[in-house]
């Protein structure tokens, strides 16, 4: 069955007239949501801890900033954009005791609703608008008069206006310029986690690291290994983005294509391991493992962060990236990435 997709004509901004929207968090997604909605004429307030580093960032953009509790008290729509592991505490301590009767609750990822860590009462519409791109791209495309596609869902619809709110919010984000695809909290959560773990992060990252190790352990120069297993990856991804796997293959040599077709690195055993990972996502065991670790102070997460930040490929990478003239202002890009990470971590914690 073909996916249902909504566009500009399907969203009505008047649905948001006279309503206050509280954006909880001002990280990567939070700043994009708040600014895009504000520029679409929506009445926005940003909810943050009083001592959050993000308070000044938001105020500098001309946004109204209040504590999470105070922002919640006056909001008709609350969009929760804090990191997954902090949302349930923010909900139970700051939002749930202060939320207005019937206020709509929104998310950009279904994790906490799907796994039951947050359970709004039945009188609250619960919806999702999840951009398929990082916040700085969401903001940049809006300013340019374009939009980033979103996936949208409604989990609770007590009054029958859940979809009207969802599509109005997506339009205010600029997302309906590109399109909004109908999904469910379950589908978005499980496919998003699977893609991250088994293809985008847990797949590509480990393929690059392992390929680099195989070549260098065989005696090849680290610089040459980096070019072959990491640097050229961007070219292929760009080609996939433009025209799918076929364009990526057709753009490469016959030798490369033949090697692609005959490679046995990714095989049925890989698929079996992917199925196992998907099962852990579906039955909630991955979510429980992650949240339990976070509740304990994230010892495993911090250990893994430290371990993987010192992979051998990162010893040669910075030097070679500085050679790429088309990566203008490499230093500025690295600083921007660091800034984004800092504001994401400081949202409402």
Question: From the annotation, which residues make up the binding site for NADP(+)?
Answer: 26-29, 49, 52, 54, 135
Closest CA to 270 of 172, 330, 203, 316: 203
Question: From the annotation, which residues make up the binding site?
Answer: 26-29, 49, 52, 54, 135, 192, 196, 228, 232, 253
The one-character DSSP state at 139 is: H
310 catalytic per annotation: no
- 3-state secondary structure (DSSP) of residue 201: coil
The one-character DSSP state at 9 is: G
- 3-state secondary structure (DSSP) of residue 149: coil
Closest CA to 265 of 197, 203, 201: 203
* Of 31, 33, 109, 124, catalytic: 109
SS3 content of the chain, % helix, strand, coil (to 5): 55, 10, 30
Distance set, CA 299 to CA 4, 21, 217, 292, 306 (Å)? 42, 36, 31, 10, 11
Q: Report yes or no: 148 and 133 within 8 Å, Cβ to Cβ.
A: yes
The one-character DSSP state at 265 is: S
Q: Report yes or no: 120 and 87 within 8 Å, Cβ to Cβ.
A: no
State the DSSP H helix or E strand holding residue 136, giving kind and residue range, or none if neither: helix 135-143
Half-sphere exposure of 170 (CA within 13 A, CB side): 35
CB-based contacts of 211: which residues, under 8 Å, 6+ apart? 225, 228, 229
Q: State how far the Cα of 224 lies from the Cα of 315, in Å rounded to an integer.
A: 13
Distance set, CA 66 to CA 44, 63, 247 (Å)? 11, 10, 49
Closest CA to 212 of 317, 322, 334: 317
The H helix count followed by the E strand count for the chain is: 17, 9
Among all residues, which ones are annotated catalytic? 109
């Amino acid at each position: 069955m073909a996916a249902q997709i909504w566009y500009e004509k399907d969203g009505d901004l008047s649905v948001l007239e006279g309503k206050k929207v509280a954006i909880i968090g001002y990280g990567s997604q939070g700043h994009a949501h708040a600014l895009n909605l504000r520029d679409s004429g929506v009445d926005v307030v940003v909810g943050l801890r009083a001592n959050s580093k993000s308070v000044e960032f938001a105020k500098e953009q001309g946004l109204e900033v209040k504590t999470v509790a105070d922002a919640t008290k006056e909001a008709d729509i609350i969009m929760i954009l804090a990191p997954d592991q902090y949302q349930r505490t923010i909900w139970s301590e700051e939002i749930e005791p202060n939320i207005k009767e019937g206020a709509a609750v929104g998310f950009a990822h279904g994790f906490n609703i799907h796994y039951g860590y947050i359970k709004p009462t039945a009188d609250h519409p619960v919806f999702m608008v999840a951009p398929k791109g990082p916040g700085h791209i969401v903001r940049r495309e809006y300013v340019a008069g374009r939009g980033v596609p979103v996936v949208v869902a409604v989990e609770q619809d007590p009054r029958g206006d859940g979809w009207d709110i969802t599509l109005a919010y997506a339009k205010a984000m600029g997302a309906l310029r590109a399109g909004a695809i109908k999904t469910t909290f379950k589908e978005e959560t499980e496919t998003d986690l699977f893609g991250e773990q088994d293809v985008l992060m847990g797949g590509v990252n480990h393929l690059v690291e392992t390929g680099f190790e195989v070549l260098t352990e065989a005696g090849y120069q680290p610089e040459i290994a980096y070019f072959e297993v990491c640097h050229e990856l961007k070219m292929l991804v760009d080609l996939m983005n433009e025209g799918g796997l076929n364009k990526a293959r057709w753009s490469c040599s016959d030798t490369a294509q033949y090697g692609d077709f005959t490679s046995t690195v990714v095989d049925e055993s890989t698929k079996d391991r992917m199925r196992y990972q998907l099962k852990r996502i579906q039955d909630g065991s991955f979510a429980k493992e992650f949240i339990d670790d976070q509740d304990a102070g994230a010892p495993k997460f911090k250990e893994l962060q430290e371990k993987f930040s010192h992979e051998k490929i990162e010893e040669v990478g910075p030097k070679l990236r500085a050679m790429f003239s088309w990566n203008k202002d490499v230093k500025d890009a690295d600083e921007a990435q660091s800034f984004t990470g800092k504001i994401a971590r400081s949202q409402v914690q």
